[in-house]
Amino acid sequence: MNKYLFLIFTFFSLILNGQNKSDTTLNNSNKEKQIKGWSLGAVPAIAFDSDIGFKYGAALNLYDYGNSNLYPNYKHSIYLEWSRTTKGSGINQITYDSKYLIKGLRFTGDISYFQEQALDFYGFNGYQSEYNHQLEDDNDKNYISRMYYRIDRQLFRLSFDFVSNKENQNFKWLIGYGLYDNNINKVDINKLNEGRDADKLFPAVDTNTSLYEKYKNWSIIPYEQENGGTTQLIKLGLVYDSRDNEANPMKGIWSEAILILSPTFIGNKYNYAQIAINHRQYFTIKKEVLNLACRLAYQGKIAGEMPFYMLPFVFSSNKPTRDGLGGAKTVRGILRNRIVGEGIFYGNIELRWKFLRTKFLKQNFYIALSGFTDIGQVVQFYNFNKSKIPSNFSIISDNESLHIGYGGSLHFVLNSNFVLNFTYGHANSKQDGNSAFYINLNYLF
């Protein structure tokens, strides 16, 4: 697997408080300084990958805490991410969240464009599709290509969610819209080979050097879907939220059930419906210091036909995703998009310890450690044509079972909401990879 060398791993933050910079009012619940005005956290995105080149850019999160005693809640949040690699990959993302833009509603909007030259693709139905690391290990005699389990995907995503927001009301309704424009192709080997030594060139991608090309050749991926397509979604849901704090709750429940519709009357080619059910619960072990966070979730198709390119998206009310199960956002330590099917189950349990609280540049700051175990499994299989698979080639095993990852994280948290985490995850099975290191913003849930 590719190895990432992170050149910058330090955490820095720029603080911009538009008003009342010298305010020293304390929040009664946690004895922290009452923050007012604007706060900006920034993290550099700088790394090197021998396959996709040098990565550069930044992720920024701005919070407006207003002029009243809202902290640790905020009036407005604006998340910006811009990054590029020298060989053409990139992330362009803007996310806005506020309970105060529209009276009585919480609005979350996202517009993003992801250029992913080497996106993970391991087939369908978890362990029913074999993962063979030897095929992408250039030191192994069975090596084919490091791009064997990769595709090129250009994804444009637009998402708007509206959640009712009445004071002291735990039950809420949700209505939302999402547009996902997937442009999928084989990896652009010529681009990735630019600047590489002659003995390190990737072989040309054809039906023998890419799982995606084999799936196309065997009609596992239907011809009319092989290059992606555009899907518009309507989301309807109910939410119960009794958390004491959104960024890292010490206690409370956050549960939701969301109906996801892809109707043809708004221009979709494929008509289908899904349901996503998430339950998150938080338990205080020691006030302000130690807590347990748990999540159980199910997402499945309940009607219609889903195109393969819409399978690797996991939905919830708080933020959109561009990946299936596996990786930094769902089941840590497991290969990204390893657990893909029409119905999935996943869960996380995480012990969080805030072991140091202090002030940083006159702002509230704490450091936390966490240990976690994550699980996931396909529970509703994606059915496809198996008639053209060669008899001497097996991609199907008989069983699917739990995929398990475990590890730990170190979190640096500014003003309760800007969270930078360094996470190490390890896969329990070699069929799910080995281990992974992530640098991300926010707690997982």
Confidence of residue 182 (pLDDT cuts 50, 70, 90): very high
Confidence of residue 13 (pLDDT cuts 50, 70, 90): very low
Instruction: Scan for tokens 């990139």, then name that residue.
Output: 90
Could you give the number of structural domains in the chain? 1
Nearest to 378 by CA among 126, 142, 156, 172: 126
Residue 138 confidence (pLDDT)? 85
Confidence of residue 49 (pLDDT cuts 50, 70, 90): low
What span, in angstroms and rounded, lies between the C-alpha atoms of 146 and 116?
15
Q: Average per-residue pLDDT in the chain?
A: 88
What span, in angstroms and rounded, lies between the C-alpha atoms of 222 and 242?
45
Q: Which residues pair with 108 in a beta bridge?
A: 97, 161
Residue 48 confidence (pLDDT)? 65
Confidence of residue 166 (pLDDT cuts 50, 70, 90): confident
Q: What is the CATH number of the domain that holds 188?
A: 2.40.160.50
H helix intervals, 222-329: none
For the cut 50, the answer to whether the pLDDT of residue 4 exceeds it is no
pLDDT digits (tens, 9 = 90+) for 317-340: 877 777 889 999 899 999 999 999
pLDDT digits (tens, 9 = 90+) for 242-265: 999 888 899 999 999 999 999 999
User: Is the model's pTM score more than 0.85?
Assistant: yes
Average pLDDT over residues 101-107: 94
Residue 167 confidence (pLDDT)? 82
Domain that holds residue 21: 4-441
What span, in angstroms and rounded, lies between the C-alpha atoms of 302 and 203?
41
What span, in angstroms and rounded, lies between the C-alpha atoms of 422 and 282?
21
Residue 27 confidence (pLDDT)? 45
- Lowest-confidence segment of 83-97, 125-139, 315-329, 369-383 by average pLDDT: 315-329
Nearest to 177 by CA among 79, 280, 315: 315
Confidence of residue 362 (pLDDT cuts 50, 70, 90): confident
Count the residues in the chain: 445
What span, in angstroms and rounded, lies between the C-alpha atoms of 145 and 165?
51
What span, in angstroms and rounded, lies between the C-alpha atoms of 13 and 6?
19
Instruction: Scan for tokens 């995850």, then name that residue.
Output: 425
Residue 214 confidence (pLDDT)? 93
